[in-house]
Structure 1
Amino acid sequence: MSEHTNLLIIGAGPAGLAAALAAAPRAARIVLLDDNPLPGGQIWRDGPQAKVPAQARRLREQVLACRNVHCYSGTRVIAQPGPDTLLVEDAERGWQIRYDRLILCTGARELLLPFPGWTLPGVTGAGGLQALIKAGLPVHEQRIVIAGSGPLLLASAATAKANGARVLRIAEQASPAAVAGFAAQLPRWPQKLLQSFSLFDRQYRSASHVLAALGSDRLEGVRLMQNGKIVEIACDRLACGFGLIPNIQLAQALGCAVAHDAVAVNNWQETTLPGVYAAGECTGFGGSERALVEGAIAGHAAVGNRQAAQRLLRQRARWHGFADALNKAFSLDPALKSLATADTLVCRCEDVPYSALAGHGSWREAKLASRCGMGACQGRVCGAATRHLFGWQPSAPRPPFSPARIDTLLCLEETPGA
């Protein structure tokens, strides 16, 4: 089974939705697919306990109202059977999609760094906790510590408190000077300044980072380094994330060039592959505003409307400035590379400890010797961690890009265009 579309958009977060809406007036058929149940991506994740922003609801409604835009939810990319063709799978079937133009809006994921106890039940990523709560996880009256780096810590804390949790501490690894310097620049982006007021939390501490999660069968507390002093806090949950990193695996597999750990694009959001564009956090982390304008530029450019794209370039530059300030202020302290001890698991899927990796010189060498990166997550977690710890660059993924059913893989035998 196969289908053809003029424009295929992978990812229905802010960038993907904006790209679809921008391209809709000029494209006969657009397919927008995402592996989540509903459009919105991670930042606008919907769910039983989610409060989706009005802007997100409006954009989603506008896209769904376009008769030439076909949204496929719960759908993942499995392989590339041939040029301009992708094999995809949902809960019921697998099929090939042929496209004239492609826009990658694959977003970003949390950087999770290993530390003693990070595999205990009750320990999650900061964004992971936020997603779980939105999906219905009860946290009422639970004691929560949030640690790591970046504004996501405050957003996760706000979500937890709104659902009845007791946030005992927000530990930000960046220095007081870095945080203050970033805050001083926020008047350049008034809406971000207003947002910062709503997210302020008196439990926020800079120059603080996790040392260990404490407990035997499950999390019982957390040990923090706080302004040079070790403190321990009893808690029920620890949410720890060290910022976001672009999801570049699909772009790499297709052959797109990567620069600064993100998909490389030109002025029109086009990658090094002609006819393939990228937008949003897969091109670099910078928030929903940056993702929206990049998605719109990519959508216009993909359907040949460069005049409309041109009008958005100044707005994109403004939000690139915000992204630069954000990433500089919350750059990770080199001390975080020493959190893991010899027996700390780095690859959770295959139970590979730090000591089994430290003596190797590359990702490939470590993978062959220890099975690191060969588990269910296919190196998405440990690959990013070893990149930070050792400077290794994980190789481009090989198909299948995600676990797939046998009947889906049999679709690879189909002749494209048949």
Structure 2
Amino acid sequence: MTTHSTDVIVIGGGPAGIAAVCRLLASGQRVTWVDQAARPGGQIWRASLPPAWQPRLDAASGSAALTHLPGHAVIAVESGTTLLLQDQLDPRRPALRVQAPRLLLALGARERFLPFPGWTLPGVHGAGGLQALVKNGWPVAGKRVVLAGSGPLLLAAADTARAAGAKVLLIAEQASRAALSRFALGLPAAKLAQAAALRWRLRGTAYRPDCRVTQAFGDGRLEALQLDDGRRIDCDMLGIGFGLQPNTGLASALGCRIDNTTGAIAIDAQQRTSQPAVWAAGECCGVGGVDKALAEGEIAALQILGEGTPAPLRRRHERALAFAARLSGTFTLRPELLRPPEAGDTIVCRCEDVTIGALRAQPSWRDAKLQTRCGMGACQGRICKPIVRDLFGWHDESPPREPLQPAPLRAFIARD
């Protein structure tokens, strides 16, 4: 097995990872950059970088000090900051071991799901997942689409679907009209202009605060949905999302402390985790948007280099954190959304078809896994474990087991 040594390993290709890589390379560091996606940009930019960042990334990509490993996933932590990687684009290639004295995690976030009857029907997607499908060419022209849940992602996904020819019937937002009005009035001028432009493009689409989906119907695929006011809407596709949650699996495997209150990687003011050789930046440290991610990526890189944080960057970060706090407060989920669905046949674990009724009889996450196989399927609890934490308050602080991502058996045989 090949072992690659470097000065710093950066995991993640979103804004935080890009900002960190550019700063580290500009200071002469040898950087190994690992990203599961085929192209940089993360879920926020999705390979379409803003004009301000594309030239910087182009310059960084041409550096001889950069080893860029797109399409690679960390499948195991061997020791300290030595990681085992597998090419996800070509699994036939042998595994690669990478090691460095310092490691930066820019792991991003994933969608937060809450179950309701019918949420596993074909045609029901995560709001961000639907947006990604459309951006990658999924045909939605003429399809009747509803976006529901909470947060700005609903608007962004609706805009993407509309631009691709979909008929966006409704954006159902669970937050109250008063909370949304306060949030809009407090936006900085630049963000207010962005929000106004987005809403103008969606001017023909109904936007309903204080509204949520309670059930989806269909024979083999989505045909209609019901709102909490009893209204029924015929539709072809539903994008559902209740905000984002930090990706922390690799951090947990490395022994980094996870904040149980926020579900994010715990960091200090220098972006350092509880492991002294590991830093973290961006959404994995707390969801807050692209400005926060960019600032934290740069701060983490500077701290790795042993440099201080310049005052303008510090102020930019403080503004981003303040915005993140307002975002969280505005889109706090209503209590009824965090109650287990009354219908006992509502599926929670999609991999193993475990229902809410089966889980009600279990006292803990461990018992749920042993007795129902909840969390034991292909996704290894990435979807259902956060759901049961929200609905039942079950916490599982045990680190994930190898492989952290799907990998061929020979990847583990070859390292011994």
TM-score under structure 1 length normalisation: 0.93
Q: Which residue of structure 1 lines up, in the alignment, with residue 17 of structure 2?
A: 16
1:304-319 to structure 2, matched below 5 A, reads 304-308=306-310, 311-319=312-320
Shift of 1:55: 3.6
Per-residue deviation, residues 212-242 of structure 1 (Å, max 9, x unmatched): 11101111011112xxx21111111001011
Q: Following the alignment from structure 1 to structure 2, what is the Cα–Cα distance between the partners of residues 199 and 218? A: 30
Amino acid at match of 1:358: R
Q: Following the alignment from structure 2 to structure 1, what is the Cα–Cα distance between the partners of residues 269 and 316? A: 13
Ranges of 4+ aligned residues in structure 1 off by more than 4 Å: none
* Alignment RMSD: 1.4
Amino acid at match of 1:70: T
Give 3-state SS (helix, strand or coil) of 1:258's partner.
coil
Per-residue deviation, residues 141-194 of structure 1 (Å, max 9, x unmatched): 1100000100000000010011111100000011111111111110xx322111
Q: Which residue of structure 2 lines up, in the alignment, with residue 416 of structure 1?
A: none
**Distance change in 2, residues 1:129/1:59 (3 Å):** farther
Structure 2: give runs of 5+ residues left out of the alignment. Answer: none
Give 3-state SS (helix, strand or coil) of 2:287's partner.
coil
Q: Which residue of structure 1 lines up, in the alignment, with residue 361 of structure 2?
A: 359
Amino acid at match of 2:366: R
The range that moved more, 370-379 or 356-365, is 356-365
Identity %: 46
Conserved 8 A contact 1:17-1:59: no
Q: Which residue of structure 2 lines up, in the alignment, with residue 109 of structure 1?
A: 110
Conserved 8 A contact 2:22-2:57: no
Q: Following the alignment from structure 1 to structure 2, what is the Cα–Cα distance between the partners of residues 286 and 58? A: 25
The range that moved more, 386-395 or 146-155, is 386-395
1:195-214 to structure 2, matched below 5 A, reads 195-200=194-199, 201=202, 202-214=205-217
Per-residue deviation, residues 46-96 of structure 1 (Å, max 9, x unmatched): 3xxxx5533453443243133312211110000011222000110223111
| Correspondence 1:244 to 2:244 | yes
**Distance change in 2, residues 1:396/1:190 (3 Å):** farther
Q: Following the alignment from structure 1 to structure 2, what is the Cα–Cα distance between the partners of residues 107 and 411? A: 30
**Distance change in 2, residues 1:27/1:258 (3 Å):** farther
Q: Which residue of structure 2 lines up, in the alignment, with residue 386 of structure 1?
A: 388
Give 3-state SS (helix, strand or coil) of 1:117's partner.
coil
Q: Following the alignment from structure 2 to structure 1, what is the Cα–Cα distance between the partners of residues 55 and 142? A: 33
Amino acid at match of 2:387: A
Q: Following the alignment from structure 1 to structure 2, what is the Cα–Cα distance between the partners of residues 23 and 311? A: 19
Shift of 1:258: 1.4
Q: Following the alignment from structure 1 to structure 2, what is the Cα–Cα distance between the partners of residues 96 and 183? A: 48
| Correspondence 1:145 to 2:146 | yes
Shift of 1:26: 2.7
Conserved 8 A contact 1:6-1:27: no
Structure 1: give runs of 5+ residues left out of the alignment. Answer: 414-418
Q: Following the alignment from structure 2 to structure 1, what is the Cα–Cα distance between the partners of residues 130 and 24? A: 34
Q: Which residue of structure 2 lines up, in the alignment, with residue 72 of structure 1?
A: 69
**Distance change in 2, residues 1:388/1:203 (3 Å):** same
Q: Following the alignment from structure 2 to structure 1, what is the Cα–Cα distance between the partners of residues 233 and 340? A: 18
Per-residue deviation, residues 261-303 of structure 1 (Å, max 9, x unmatched): 1011111101111120000000000000100000000011112
Give 3-state SS (helix, strand or coil) of 2:44's partner.
coil
Aligned partner of 2:83 among 86, 101, 104: 86
Amino acid at match of 2:301: G
**Distance change in 2, residues 1:95/1:135 (3 Å):** same
Q: Following the alignment from structure 1 to structure 2, what is the Cα–Cα distance between the partners of residues 184 and 66? A: 44
Q: Following the alignment from structure 1 to structure 2, what is the Cα–Cα distance between the partners of residues 274 and 52? A: 32
